[in-house]
Amino acid sequence: MAILDVVSTKAQRAFFGTVLFQAIVVIVMVAITFGKVEDNFDLTDTQYKTIPCYLALFILAELFEIFMAYDALRLRNVIQLVGILLFHAALLVMAALQVHETRSALVTNPGKNWTQDYLHGDGSGTVWSRVFPFLVVSPVVIGVTWPVMMWFVRELYYEFGWAIFHVVGANPAAKTMYQYYQVIICLLKFDFFAFVGVTMQLLIVVLATSTAEFGLTIAAIPIVLVLLIGCGLAVQREIKWLMTISLILMLAAESYFIYKLVRFFEPSSRAQYATVRSTLTTFTIIAFLLLFSTFAIGLRCFADFDKGLLKSKLHEPTFQRRYSSSTHGTAGAKKEEGYGAGAPLGQRVSIE
């Protein structure tokens, strides 16, 4: 589906344009910060690995947000739009934390200016004073665009109001079941980002390749990815045995996150996490809460299997293409005019 077909109204274009604009600005600011630090420090040194990790995380986060925005508009999914707003708020927190953690990595001789300690001081003319403005731009841009995105999500809520009705009809019970289905699919996408974010920080910044913990982290990657994909297929196609396995694996993954949280703070290992403890702890707690929410909603969706929703789930993409670009007589026109449902209708070709 062409992007112009997806973002076919003013509200859709404005929302997607806002997401795209802030992503470009943030990535550019992070890249400039990385370049300035790389010119002065050896980034293979453990103390400075925070910087490439910071760059990688924000590139991943912004590309993920662009994809999620496009996907939400394509699916006319208001729940996912709300999820994007929450994700954007989490990005704001992460950007603010990165200012603190980058300073912790670079500044080891506070109070000194460029003539006294150019590399490790925090006074005028030092490396830190040069990168600080670019670090601050990211949380400012993310913070300013957040209420703008909230406004357009409000507009899109009214625009997409008839989407679920066209999928499942007017049955309130079916509508509720379908909304839970949308929630778990949305949560699985955010679970993927949270897990990749935690893993990326561990592999880039903290763990040595010779440690057992490095091997455990590597082994967890395919297991969690299979879990997320398997759960998505299970809930969409209502495969009970696969859903059961997915729920059990979620509990195992929860145990893994608890284990990592303990490692961040126990005396025997806390030193190796010193430069990234704040961000890692935040990411791990968010990942834990997201996965716990996915488990709880998964149980609710499991209880809705075999209750007549399977056809709506399997034919959802076909519906979206029809809903956004086709027309079916006067009744369809009235619905769009009266309720602002979706993109503008095309030329009338038949009357049913």
Check residue 348 and give its pLDDT: 35
Which pLDDT band holds residue 21 (cuts at 50, 70, 90)?
very high
162 vs 333: CA distance, rounded Å = 13
Q: CB-based burial of residue 54 (10 Å sphere; 0-12 exposed, 13-18 middle, 19+ buried)?
A: buried
Single-letter amino acid, residue 289: L
Give, rounded to a whole angstrom, the gap between the first and last alpha carbons of the chain: 26
Which pLDDT score is estimated for 316? 57
Q: Are 133 and 100 in contact (CB under 8 A)?
A: no
What are the tens digits of pLDDT across the range 91-126? 898 888 888 878 887 877 787 777 777 787 777 888
Nearest to 350 by CA among 334, 319, 326, 321: 326
What pLDDT is recorded for position 210?
A: 61
Tokens encoding 187: 């949560």
pLDDT tens for residues 251-286?
888 888 888 888 888 887 777 777 677 778 888 898
Distance CA 55, CA 52 (A): 5
- From residue 120, alpha-carbon distances to 175, 177, 235 in Å are 59, 57, 53
The residue with tokens 């300073």 is 103
Determine the Cα–Cα distance for residues 75 and 312; give it in Å rounded to an integer: 13
Q: How far apart are CA 338 and CA 162, in angstroms?
A: 10
Distance of alpha carbon 73 from alpha carbon 114, whole angstroms? 50
Count of helices and strands (H, E) across the chain: 14, 0
The Cα–Cα gap between 341 and 108 comes to 57
Q: Which of 58-67, 174-183, 263-272 has the lowest mean pLDDT?
A: 263-272
Contact 144, 119 (CB under 8 A): no
Predicted TM-score of the model (pTM):
0.78
Among 44-53, 162-171, 223-232, the range scoring the smallest mean pLDDT is: 162-171
pLDDT score recorded for residue 333 = 40
